[in-house]
């Protein structure tokens, strides 16, 4: 049996925080601190409006820039949405899908998450698939059931070969701060 240990992965989701200047300052500080390290994989997920500029600022560094979400459709009349191809066009390499806020604040279903995973992979993006239970689900002893359901649905459209392009992030909703 060979050692298939994965390189540690550190991702920072900026959510709806930081303006252009403070985001660029933070990214440049991070780039300077990371240098050319290869013992950890690092990605930042700024608001979509800053992806292009940050991907240019971080070009040549090992830091990846990603989108915080993508639409389950490639194009169309979906006001305010950002498609996976648009993320790629703006310089993103990776996208977060199934984040607890998307699931619980915006009502995204497991089916929609699976559609987004497929769109992202088809566009050439790597994926961070988020799974996790609510406090009430944990207290009811449903953690494994909830996570299994989310994983089964989210991974359904992913081929074995594509699994190398996907990271699963367990984020129990009850443990997330603001």
- Which amino acids are annotated catalytic? 99, 171
Q: Which is it for the CA torsion 32, 33, 37, 42, positive or negative?
A: negative
Q: Which helix or strand (DSSP H or E) is residue 74 part of? A: none
Please answer whether residues 173 and 136 qualify as being in contact, where contact means their C-beta atoms are separated by less than 8 angstroms: no
9: nearest Cα among 177, 168, 176: 168
d(CA 18, CA 30) in angstroms, rounded, equals 15
């Amino acid at each position: 049996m060979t050692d298939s240990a994965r390189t540690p992965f550190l991702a920072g989701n900026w959510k709806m925080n930081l303006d252009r200047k403070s985001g660029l300052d933070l990214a440049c500080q991070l780039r300077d601190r990371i240098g050319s390290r290869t013992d950890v994989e690092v990605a930042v997920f700024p608001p979509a409006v800053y992806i292009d500029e940050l991907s240019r600022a971080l070009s040549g560094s090992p830091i990846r820039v990603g989108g915080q979400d993508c639409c389950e459709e490639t194009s169309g009349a979906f006001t305010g949405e950002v498609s996976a191809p648009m993320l790629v066009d703006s310089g993103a390499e990776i996208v977060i899908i199934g984040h607890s806020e998307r699931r619980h604040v915006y009502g995204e279903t497991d089916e929609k998450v699976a559609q987004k995973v497929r769109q992202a992979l088809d566009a050439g993006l790597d994926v961070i698939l988020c799974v996790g239970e609510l406090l009430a689900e944990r207290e009811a002893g449903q953690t494994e059931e909830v996570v299994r359901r989310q994983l089964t649905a989210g991974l359904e459209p992913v081929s074995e070969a594509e699994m190398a392009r996907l990271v699963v992030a367990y984020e129990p909703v009850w443990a997330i701060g603001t």
